[in-house]
Structure 1
Amino acid sequence: MIRGLEFRIGLRYTRARRKNNFISFISLTSMLGIALGVTALITVLSVMNGFEKELRERILGMAAHTSLLGLEDTLPRWREVAETAMENDQVLGAAPYIEGQGMLSSGDQAFGVMIRGIDPAEERNVSEVSEQMVEGELEALNQTRFGIVLGTELASRLGAGLGDKVTLMIPKGSVTPAGLVPRMKRFTVVGLFEVGMYEFDSGLALLSLRDSGKLFRMGDEVTGVRLRLSDMFKAPEVSREIANDSNRAFRVTDWTRQHANFFSAIQMEKRVMFIILMLIVAVAAFNIVSTMVMVVTDKESDIAILRTLGERPRDILAIFIVQGTVIGVVGTLLGVLGGISLALNVETLIPAIEQLFDTQFLSADIYYINAVPSDMRWSDVTMIAGVSLVLSLLATIYPAWKGSRVQPAESLRYE
């Protein structure tokens, strides 16, 4: 246990006398190094959290939290399935959909697309596509016979705009006198959406449930039912509950499975970045070792005097632990304050820097996320501060132990 005397002496040793300014400079450098590393770590992890949150919201703005799919290619009696799912307290909305692949062409341009048939009225309950319309309205799908809504990127590549005709071909053939030919249909573009994800904006086309049912000849059946939950992170748990409460006439999947590789990659990048940036803190923390070794060498005569006055080796150990810990604590606190300040204001600072230097870090022509988002999490701040303090304490132990082993007679021999 550290007593008041050892604590006061340890604090005095952190302020070097005039002849020991070099030791004071090394202590200050170690302190600033820890602060810089902690600041960088909190800021970078907050920005990575912001990107992850932004991408997740954009993906789940079009993808379902949970999907109920047929055991075969179609889901019969989907209305009963939707009613069963809505009985779960976590389910906020359910909407049927028909999904398939096809090729859209306009003029001499043709591109493969994912086709999704939806009910515009029900789709509002499970996705945000109606809020991302840049031209036209989603409801026009029901008001126009064989209407289609395209992503802005896809429409640009096709050279198609509102009111233009496009040809949709699906890989299901129709038997004609000329033989088996792909099924084709002309559609009128009634709307354009932009969700900010290239995957959807360049490769998704929306039809009405009625028209897609006719095109794929599915009758009253659908591919599945999409669900929106009050808490997206409970999707695996809710999926199991729905599956257990039903007669299992369908299979259940959720966004954590559908996009598992993508979000796993983000988590891996965060872990690697944490380790890399923590090395900055580690280097600064272990600079404390050199500082403390020099202090112990400089204070050998003081240690000897304290020992002759009755101080025990563990008391000397406590004095130097206090000194090293103060460096680590002050550096960590400065870093935490700097990191929090940057993380909370990065969305304001980056535009100001871009304006000052007349540049743009994330060009809107290349990146859909053209602003630097930030999502500071207190759990990250606590973990970073804790690791920094532990590293600082570990770096202090050996020099403090060496100081406690100083022999008074040897140190005072030449005094």
Structure 2
Amino acid sequence: MILSPFEWTIAKRYMLPGRGEAVIALVASISIGVVMLSVAMLVIVMSVMNGFRAELLDKIVGLNGHAIIQAYGGRLENWEQVLEDVRKTPGVTSASPLVDQPLMVTFNGRVEGVLLRGNTPEDIAKFKPNVLMGDISSLQRGNDKVAIGSRLAMNLGARVGDVITLINPQGRSTPFGTMPRQVGYTVGAIFEIGVYDYDESYVVMPIPNAQTLLLTGNSIELIEVKTSDADRVGEILAPIAQKLQGQAVVTDWKTINAQLFEALQVERVAMFFALSIIVLVAAFNILSSLVMLVRSKTRDIAILRTMGATRKSLLKIFVTTGSVIGAVGTLAGLVLGFIVLLFRQPIVKGIELVTGQNLWDPSIRFLSELPAKTDPFEVLLICLMAMGLSFLATLYPAYRAAGTDPVQVLRYE
């Protein structure tokens, strides 16, 4: 829609109401503000929801892979052959054996439930970027070094160099019954993955050491699998699942965390719908401001008609006026949204400092920090929605202005 110099001059005049039109200017400013806040809220909320899902998926997959292969009964005896077959499967990028067993740990009279993870040296080395204290490379086959999560270390009061005791309830049989197996291990490293549940429960050691503690011989519990496409993991591992039928079960990340990710998806859709209503409210504000503008400018519109202004020109003028309000509000909302996302963590800390409330409790939110991931397609959709509703809100006032009859208006002038 291209405006002539005359039409653009009138449109600019109506975009900046004079002193005698303070109410119209106020309503127009409120319209811009509501559009700005609605767009900013949509961008912030959707980015945080996307970031939460992506960060959670990345951390969960980083520890448990895209899928796990678990034997019936919990022990995979011929795991070397199964591991070789899995690695040869097209689409599989890596596969690692894994010992995963819930145990108890005690230190200085404190007792906590933990999850023992026996990893290969390659997988243990991947913890290095997450190490807060100690040396992850000190975990070697045959020694007594382990790595523990930061929250677990805090709960136990343990530091690097302290000796913690792992308790295996399935110990050796004696004439007096089964005696739990208790073995002391030195804390060689403390790590923080960023997922509260993992940092609170994980104890990591080499696989042979875990097998010795658990008295399982050469067997393992799981094989961790990563694929080239997380969304196609079921399709990629279908041949392996069929081959291991009756011996082991293949479970992908979608099944393991189904309730969590389904809840996130439902909440994401619900938030988008709820916040979209605010954009609709902003569109009604634009409509009301334009209706007020048309009513106050009825005499001016009639004079313009008598001077030769066409209905089409008036239609273009008022559509442009309302659309510019929507465009300015949308642009301001994008700027505000990106600024808030950029400084989201300091903002959360500042609000916590002022209110004294813990807004981001890792024990509830799973992650240690507020994540964010902006999807360009979603941002474009939000902008199109805001601009589209703003445009639709201009049509009724514009048609009213274009339908003004100068004879009726100026009859008694």
TM-score, normalised to structure 1, is 0.81
Kept in 1, the 8 Å contact 2:196–2:368? The answer is no
- The answer on 1:184 being equivalent to 2:181 is yes
Deviation string 1:12-47 (CA, Å, 9 cap, x unpaired) is 432334433432332233223322332343234434
Q: How does 1:389-400 map to 2 (within 5 A)?
A: 389-400=387-398
One of 235, 242, 248 as aligned partner of 1:240: 235
Corresponding residue for 2:15? 14
Q: 1:121 touches 1:139 (CA, 8 Å); kept in 2?
A: no
Within 2, Cα distance between the matches of 1:113 and 1:352?
Answer: 30
Residue 292 (structure 1) aligns with: 290
Q: 1:117: Cα distance to partner? A: 2.1
What secondary structure, in the 3-state scheme, does the structure 1 residue paired with 2:404 have?
coil
Equivalent AA in structure 1 for residue 282 of structure 2: A
1:194 corresponds to which of 192, 195, 204: 192
**2:163 counterpart letter in structure 1:** D
1:307-329 per-position Cα deviation (integer Å, ceiling 9, x unaligned): 55666655543332222112111
- SS of structure 2 residue aligned to 1:114: strand
Deviation at 1:388, TM superposition (A): 0.9
- Distance across 2 between alignment mates of 1:97 and 1:374: 31
Listed as ranges, the gaps of 5+ residues in structure 2 are none
Q: For the structure 1 residues 47 and 223, does the alpha-carbon distance in structure 2 shift closer, same or farther, using more than 3 Å as the test?
A: same
Provide closer, same or farther for how the CA distance between residues 85 and 339 of structure 1 changes in structure 2, counting only shifts above 3 A: same
State the alpha-carbon separation in 1 of the partners of residues 176 and 350 from structure 2.
65
| Change in CA separation of 1:45 and 1:66 when aligned onto 2, cut-off 3 Å | same
Distance 1:338 1:204, change over 3 A: closer
Q: 1:56 to 1:163 in 2, by over 3 A?
A: same
Say yes or no: does 1:406 pair with 2:404.
Answer: yes
Q: Which residue of 2 is the match for residue 339 of structure 1?
A: 337
TM-superposed CA distance for 1:392, in Å, is: 0.9
User: Which residue does the alignment assign to 1:219?
Assistant: 217
Q: Cα offset for 1:160?
A: 4.2
Partners of 1:344 and 1:376 within 8 A in 2: no
Deviations 1:231-266 (A, max 9, x none): xxx224134212226752143223233223233333
SS of the aligned residue for 1:202 comes to helix
Bigger drift between 254-263 and 361-370 goes to 361-370
Q: 1:245 to 1:406 in 2, by over 3 A?
A: same
Per-residue deviation at 1:7? Answer: 5.5
Of the structure 1 ranges 352-361 and 14-23, higher mean CA displacement relative to structure 2 is found in 352-361
User: How many residues of Structure 1 are paired with residues of Structure 2 in the alignment?
Assistant: 406
Q: How big is each residue's C-alpha offset from its partner over 1:131-185, in whole Å with a ceiling of 9 and x where there is no partner?
A: 3334444454434455543323324433444241414123x36432123x25423
Percentage identity across paired residues of the two chains: 32
Q: Name the Cα RMSD after superposition.
A: 3.7
Distance 1:32 1:163, change over 3 A: closer
CA distance in 2, matches of 1:409, 1:69: 86
Query: Which residue in 1 is equivalent to 2:165?
Result: 166
Output the CA distance in 1 between the equivalents of 2:347 and 2:289: 37
TM superposition score normalised by structure 2: 0.82
5+ residue gaps, structure 1: none
Residue aligned with 1:142, SS: coil
Whole-angstrom distance in 2 between the partners of 1:293 and 1:358: 42
The offset of 1:296, in angstroms, is: 1.6
Aligned partners of 1:243 and 1:251 also within 8 Å:
no
Shift of 1:2: 6.4
The separation in 1 between residues aligned to 2:241 and 2:168, in whole angstroms, is 37
How far off its partner does 1:225 sit?
Answer: 1.1
Matched residues in 2 for 1:295 and 1:39: separation?
A: 27
SS of structure 1 residue aligned to 2:243: coil
> How far apart are the structure 2 equivalents of 1:49 and 1:137?
34
